[in-house]
Amino acid sequence: MFSKKRLAAAAAVATSAALVLAGCAGGTPEAGATYDPDEKVTLDLAFWGNDVRADLYNKAIEAFNEEYPNITVNATFLGFPEFWEKRQTEAAGGGLPDVMQFDYSYLRQYSENGLLLDLEPYLGSVIETDPLPEKILGIGVVDDTTYGIATSTNAWGMFTNPALLETAGVEEFAGGDWEDYDEWIGEVTDAGGGAFWGGSDWTGRIQNFEIQLRSEGKNLFDEDGTPGFDEDRLKEFWESGDDIRDGAVVPQQTVEELNPLSAFDAAKNASELTWDNFGAGYLANLGESYTELGLVAPPVTKDGAKDLYLKPSMLHTISAKTKHPEAAATLVNFLVNSPESGEIFGTNRGLPASETALEAADLDPMSQLVKDYEESIADRLGDAPPVPIVGYGTLEEKFRVLGTELNFGTTTVDEAVEQFFSEMDVVLNQ
């Protein structure tokens, strides 16, 4: 069990170089190692969250111990930034927890530095794979090796505000290509009369660029870090937003004034392209006057393309230096696949990735909306792209910042392309 009291934040963040040294310093436990079910085993479990999630993990551990009374689980939690500060410090010292809740953006960095256990020997035996669709199992693979198991998934989609659309007298976006979406945005904006807009400048989100590239059979970045686009393709993408920036989408000045709320949170936008697990937060910020949201597929770039994919809300991983790999894998399996886990966590960690856990989860209306949405886009779901390159978060933020400058009119497309490629050169060659 664990204390409700949060751990103190780590004093300093270790460097990437320290991670490399830590990864090379120790060996990996023998794959397939077993433990005596009568032997007393202690595992450390770390996750990010709040007191609500901590209570849920406490209940899950109690249920786990009913089946595995010999395995003691000592769990600790922190807020998201502090969680990764602590992991960086532990990685530099070679002492990561046995089992960790893990973020997708860190998976490549930690696995390539030898810090995470190869889970392949435990798949299909200790870790059940039948409840996990192949596309979900593939999410945790780096360089053909499985290092993480997704607890939950989300997909790129488009939220809409039915109340604003009713006020505007405009129907829900019926689907179509990006030009169709631009026309729909303009129609809503005109009907809003300055009170609200049809949407944001979607060219400011790298994910919209990504799904266009996927429709062309390319990735943002391949496994080896090679970009799937050149300057001309990025220029074409950003230039496609020239028309909507001229009054159709919410002005960047309004966006800045609303911060930290987004225009969609503040009922100033009738649509927003984002990950489908943002819905509950949107409803909470919109307030009691707004009781429902729409959730529809993003515009199509090429008919029949597998441009969308399931992304993990979070994963579970195991330290490469754990002394009890099979016990740790047993805990991961329980936290991901067991009906008890689905019943206890519900959608606290996102829509459960495991069919067994999902069946046991009690879905609220928003979670049911997401579940129905992900089923509706099945024909557009392709394999997940390679796990993000080290430094992807920096590039995603640079893309967003350049998008705001384009919307402000303080930079040109040519200047934005040059800046992004300069940043990309630094990240890819660091």
Residue 101 CB coordination number (10 Å): 22
In this prediction, residue 93 carries a pLDDT of 87
> Which tokens hold the place of 153?
């998934």
In this prediction, residue 69 carries a pLDDT of 95
Predicted confidence (pLDDT) at residue 23 exceeds the cutoff of 50: no
- Closest listed residue to residue 314, CA positions, set 156, 149, 137: 149
**Stated pTM of the model:** 0.85
Spatial separation of the C-alpha atoms in residues 162 and 168, rounded to whole Å: 10
Spatial separation of the C-alpha atoms in residues 231 and 378, rounded to whole Å: 32
pLDDT tier for residue 102 given thresholds of 50, 70 and 90: very high
309-344 pLDDT, tens per residue? Answer: 999 999 999 999 999 999 999 999 999 999 999 999
Phi then psi for residue 222, to 5 deg, are -75, 175
Does residue 170 contact residue 188 with C-beta atoms inside 8 Å?
Answer: yes
Predicted confidence (pLDDT) at residue 27 exceeds the cutoff of 80: no
Mean pLDDT across the chain: 90
pLDDT tier for residue 28 given thresholds of 50, 70 and 90: very low
Predicted confidence (pLDDT) at residue 56 exceeds the cutoff of 60: yes
Task: Tell me what the mean pLDDT of segment 242-259 comes to.
Answer: 94
In this prediction, residue 26 carries a pLDDT of 37
In this prediction, residue 12 carries a pLDDT of 29
Task: Tell me what the mean pLDDT of segment 354-372 comes to.
Answer: 95
Phi then psi for residue 71, to 5 deg, are -105, 110
The larger pLDDT score, comparing residue 18 to residue 118, is at 118
- Closest listed residue to residue 202, CA positions, set 424, 2, 418, 404: 404
pLDDT above 70 as % of the chain: 92
- Closest listed residue to residue 342, CA positions, set 176, 132, 197: 132
> Which tokens hold the place of 146?
């499985």
DSSP class of residue 124 equals T
340-361 pLDDT, tens per residue? Answer: 999 999 999 989 999 999 999 9
Spatial separation of the C-alpha atoms in residues 276 and 246, rounded to whole Å: 28
Spatial separation of the C-alpha atoms in residues 216 and 208, rounded to whole Å: 13
In this prediction, residue 36 carries a pLDDT of 66
Sign of the torsion formed by the C-alpha atoms of 300, 133, 393 and 146: negative
Task: Tell me what the mean pLDDT of segment 248-272 comes to.
Answer: 95
Predicted confidence (pLDDT) at residue 38 exceeds the cutoff of 80: no
In this prediction, residue 121 carries a pLDDT of 96
In this prediction, residue 37 carries a pLDDT of 73
In this prediction, residue 2 carries a pLDDT of 34
Task: Tell me what the mean pLDDT of segment 153-178 comes to.
Answer: 97
Task: Tell me what the mean pLDDT of segment 113-136 comes to.
Answer: 95
Predicted confidence (pLDDT) at residue 282 exceeds the cutoff of 90: yes
